[in-house]
Structure 1
Amino acid sequence: MATLIFASGCGTEPHFEPAPTLGTQDREVLYSHVWSADPGIDLFGRGAELVRATYEAGNYTTFVGLENSYSGFGRAVGGEAHHTDPDIEYFMTSRTVESDTQAEGTSFGHITAYQSTETSVAATVCHYYLFPESGTNISLNPLKMAFRIELERAGVDAGPAGIPDTDPARKDPRAHRVPTWNVFGDWKITRLHYLRQLNGDVIPRGCTDWWRQQFPNFSPNAGGNLVPPPGFEPPTMPVAVQYPEWIGPTDAQ
């Protein structure tokens, strides 16, 4: 099983202010997501928004169960997946809580290998975590956590993207940590798959390039995965403000 944000350790990330005190509706979420994408990918476009929402909702489901996750996620993903489903991860769609132990931290996610049409979206999400306290950080050794995400449009309308987040370092007063509307609309998630190299899955070059940019002192091991140098101490940082934030649908402006 892929480990989400249960464990602990920056690369060349921009400065982010610590997240301010959360409202009552958001206090159950102790971690944030900070997103980036390959050049040419609109992080605020509808396709990238669906990719972000799919990964975030699957992560959140681990802690709260499918019925309490992002609005519309359960319908979009087709309910709880079977343990042996090759396309949809059970642990990200389980009706029951898979882990009741969150850790404060920042999940850095990067969108690569992106393709989209009027009726489909596909991308790979590569990621790692940084934590406020020093300690073991399995997401950095080695750098290999990546998911393949694919969606298909079931309805006639792709739906509009949400309100863009114009400041990555500051919290928008309109935003909620968990979106208050159904981001997915009529889209169906057909793949939410953790890439397991031992099973023959291939992590795209875009992930390796991004990881290498974030951690230039890492080098490939015998398996081709980037690992830290001897004596490496995982960096720490306060929990960053979510970026992009879930501010609201465009018709709420």
Structure 2
Amino acid sequence: MRRPPRHANLPEQRGNVGIQGDRHHVDRRIIQRSRAAEAGAPVPIARPSAPVGTLRSLEVTISSMNPKPRHIERALRERVEIVAYDPAWPGLFAEEVARLRAALPAELIGRIEHFGSTAVPGLAAKPIIDMLVEVRSMEDVAERIAPLLRALGYEFFWRAPGHGLPGMEYAWFIRRDAAGRRTHHIHFVEAGSSEWGRLRFRDYLRAHSEVARAYGALKQRIAAQYPDDRIAYAKAKTCFVREVMRAVRRDHIPW
């Protein structure tokens, strides 16, 4: 099979976060941090010394692309908006699953999951449906899936492997409505990718409603603080995400 073209190198931090303390201590720390932000304390932009792991911000990913095509510049400039949970979100996910399966050859895609904040009942979120789609290979995405979805108006983003290697490690698409608003982020990853670890974050919030409420309050505070800076918004959530992932790993929550 023909290899996808060599892409610009987009370095990313990798690794796992250590397990520290018991779950209840971690939960209290998460909630206390969020309440301080909700009370009006500025939320600093995290500059972690250790990598955050599978829950890397997509905004941070695309910010490292060089050069930046027009659709990337547009994505980075768009305003951060957090809204109350919408019970219609699961239905929008299901509709997009049907759309993708109708548009793409069945042999190219497998499991499809709803993740991110719109997948957690009751959680305030950006009104954008995040989806993980399993593929056999990134070559399939580059050579067969991307041309089909781009022809339907989806915007294509990718991340290259580290260490100057050729090819494409990770790919995602933005779908927009007729008014140009983002409606879906669709992420294509191979079956063995660490990106499936994002489901563990989703499942933890689903199982811990108080932590989910704290996360929603924190996101609203950060969005008010950085409404026009998607990079700062994403980075400011890093400490919270790290604390949750410590609890996830301690509880050995499966993928």
Specify the TM-score bucket, using the shorter chain as the normaliser.
under 0.3
Q: Counting strand residues as a fraction of each chain, which structure ranks higher? A: 1
